[in-house]
Structure 1
Amino acid sequence: MTQHFMPGERRPASGGPKAAARNRAALVAAAREIYAASGLDAPLSAIARRAGVGQGVLYRHFPDRAALATAVLEENVGQIEQAAAVEKASLADVLGVMTWHLTESAAFIGLLHVYRAGARSDIRAHVLTLSERVERSLRGHLPVGHRLGAVDDLMLAVAMVSGAVSGPTREERERRALAAWRLLGIEVGPVRPFEG
């Protein structure tokens, strides 16, 4: 039913900045859940429904798929960068944080496979930037002469491990990721989110 207003009558408030901040947070949380299960190609309409808002609200906050994907993946990448910035962090420590994110999110795995054929052109450039940030964080901890020191070897190893991350539970995905690192002869620290 459409509500009609008389001239001069005030329309109800939209909720203002507080509602806008809540809606944005709800959209990012919904996108994180849906992307974690379905990857970056999940329908935006499903994200809006999960957040309890209309698609118009989604597009007010995120003008395109790339903006929403970047907002969601920024947290994953930010945690890896924070882990890498810890003064005494080792490559194994940073790989532990990165591996945790691999076991949690299909979207994050998609980020690390950005070069694959068929990657969505509308998000490719944004995701490529995030992927490069992950590589810089890891590469900064590679000891001189490390087996992954060659130009493409580091991210190829990451892509190989992320390709092994499958299974119905987070525990199974972690077990498979650690087995893949072990087969590559790479030590990984505790698999957990970064807790600054």
Structure 2
Amino acid sequence: MHNASRRSNRGPAAAPENRRALLDAARRVFADRGYLAPLSAIAQEAGVGQGVLYRHFPTRLDLALAVFEQHFVELEDIAAEPGPDAFGSLWTRLLELTVEESAFVEMFLAARHDLADTDLGDRLPALIGATLPRAQSAGLVSARLTVADVMLLQRMVYGVVATSVTDAEARDAVDRALALLGGVLAPEA
């Protein structure tokens, strides 16, 4: 007997929709359960079989990189904004992503040797380097701040997030840590 509620197999026509569903599900599951979350949970969340997941993303790293790429596109759009406020917007969004989706920092740390031949490690510093001088020229941040300093601050924020037990604790701890470091970003008086 035919089950009318069963999803029909649309074959290749469903590929773009399945890919989007997998990326959305991966973003949620990785954010909730970390980089090592079962891939079966991602397929289930996306409403597809594991075979579909592996056709689109043969490895966990392929899937995480595809989601990570979405983050970079968003950050690149922010960095492309004209004016001195782009750095502040970029920094704010980077902190939000670090707190909300620390699994992607986990991914980078776990796979950094496999990623040595990619530009992944250079992209974020390039975005910061493109926006920081404008903010400094406008007197919005310290003229002594370097790209390496900002990257170190982001790593410190990740450390706070990684050692927090709950999301609420992570957000509070990041806010407190940044308050302690308030003078680091502030322009000189």
Query: Fold match, TM over 0.5?
Result: yes
User: Per chain length, whose mean CA-contact separation is higher, i.e. which structure has more relative contact order (CA < 8 Å, sep 6+)?
Assistant: 1
Aligned 1:1-196 pairs, distance under 5 A: 14-88=9-83, 89-110=85-106, 114=108, 116=109, 119-120=110-111, 124-125=114-115, 129-143=119-133, 146-149=143-146, 152-165=148-161, 166=164, 168-169=166-167, 172-184=169-181, 185-187=183-185
Deviations 1:112-140 (A, max 9, x none): xx3x5xx246x840896334212211122
For residues 101 and 137 of structure 1, do their structure 2 counterparts lie closer, same or farther at Cα, with a shift above 3 Å needed? same
Query: Cα–Cα, structure 1 residues 181 and 101, in superposed 2: closer, same or farther, change >3 Å?
Result: same
Residue identity matched to 2:171: E
For 1:31 and 1:126, the matched residues in 2 are separated by 23
Aligned equivalent of 1:192: none
Return the TM-score normalized by structure 1.
0.71
Measured against aligned partners, the alpha-carbon deviations of 1:39-62 in whole angstroms (never above 9, x if no partner) come to: 222222221122222211111111
Corresponding pairs, count: 168
Partner Cα separation in structure 2 for residue 174 and residue 128 of structure 1: 31
* Contact 1:139–1:154 under 8 Å retained in 2: no
Q: Calculate the aligned-residue CA RMSD, in Å.
A: 2.9
Partners of 1:37 and 1:127 lie apart in 2 by 29
**Does the CA-based 8 Å contact 2:25-2:45 persist in structure 1?**
yes
List alignment gaps of at least 5 residues for structure 1.
Answer: 1-12, 189-196
Per-residue deviation at 1:167? 5.3
Contact 2:31 2:101 in 1 (8 A): yes
Change (3 A) 1:63 1:49: same
Q: In structure 2, what is the Cα distance between the partners aligned to 1:140 and 1:182?
A: 25
> Counterpart of 1:110 in 2: which secondary structure?
helix
CA separation in 2, counterparts of 1:187 and 1:149?
10
CA 63–131 in structure 1, closer or farther in 2 if over 3 Å, else same: same
- What TM-score do the two structures reach when normalised by structure 2? 0.73
User: Once the 2 structures are TM-superposed, how far is the Cα of residue 29 of structure 1 from its aligned partner?
Assistant: 1.3
User: Matched residues in 1 for 2:116 and 2:31: separation?
Assistant: 18
Q: Which residue of 1 aligns with 2:5?
A: none
Q: Larger % of helix: which?
A: 2
Shift of 1:31: 0.8
Secondary structure at 1:140 match in 2: helix
Q: How much identity, in percent, do the aligned residues show?
A: 39
